[in-house]
Amino acid sequence: MTGKSLVRGTVFTAMIALACWTLSACGKQQPAGISPEKVADYVHAVIEADRTFYTVHVVERLQKKGKMVASENWRAKDTLPLPAQFLMESSDLASKTGTKVQYRLIGAWPINPQNGPASEFEKKGLESVWTHPERPYTETVTSGTEQVFRALYADRAVSQACIGCHNAHARSPKRDFQINDVLGGIVITIPLG
């Protein structure tokens, strides 16, 4: 299976899962649908596949060939967005579709302070995925008048491009990352009502 086929298959699976979950959540007489945990797993699989593909097959490949680099001020310099910016931009675009599913990237040692943990859930979640990166940290809470499910997944350094940026950046509070280390987390929020 090619990388494109894998990404398309993952996207298709996630869309079907979201549709099934939405139908079961909205139709009270429907049998139980897919759990929010499973929906978050599907959404995370799509995010992780897209981000890994972009990092390894676009950024790292073009940088190795000397054709294009990724940089923080990619808009002004006509460069590629950094992988973290790619995730944030895709999250912003997804939010404009009207869906209430949200996701964001956070770090225990963020280069940009606004990407640090913003709540007790995110602080505890980062500690949890640092110790157990194979499983997400989750909770169901009431936010305002609606109930939401939140999951925080480990965000790992998947390529030399990841650790090169984090280890060399002037504002990086941690400079000894290695391949497959946990850099932070991806927080996914799904409304339950």
* pLDDT tens digits along 21-77: 444 444 444 446 899 999 999 999 999 999 999 999 999 899 888 888 887 788 889
* pLDDT for 30: 42
Rounded Cα–Cα distance for residues 18 and 10 (Å): 12
- Segment 76-83 shows an average pLDDT of 89
* pLDDT for 32: 67
Nearest to 45 by CA among 15, 86, 82, 85: 15
Which single residue is written with the structure tokens 């549709």? 19
DSSP code of 67?
A: S
- Segment 144-165 shows an average pLDDT of 89
Rounded Cα–Cα distance for residues 52 and 84 (Å): 11
* pLDDT for 123: 97
Whole-Å CA distances, 12 to 16, 35, 42 = 6, 18, 10
Rounded Cα–Cα distance for residues 10 and 51 (Å): 13
- Segment 73-90 shows an average pLDDT of 89
Rounded Cα–Cα distance for residues 183 and 108 (Å): 7
Q: Of 8-22, 27-41, 99-113, 125-139, where does the model show the most confidence? A: 125-139
Rounded Cα–Cα distance for residues 37 and 1 (Å): 27
Average pLDDT of the chain is 83
* pLDDT for 134: 96
Exposed / middle / buried, residue 188 (Cβ in 10 Å: 0-12, 13-18, 19+): buried
Rounded Cα–Cα distance for residues 183 and 154 (Å): 8
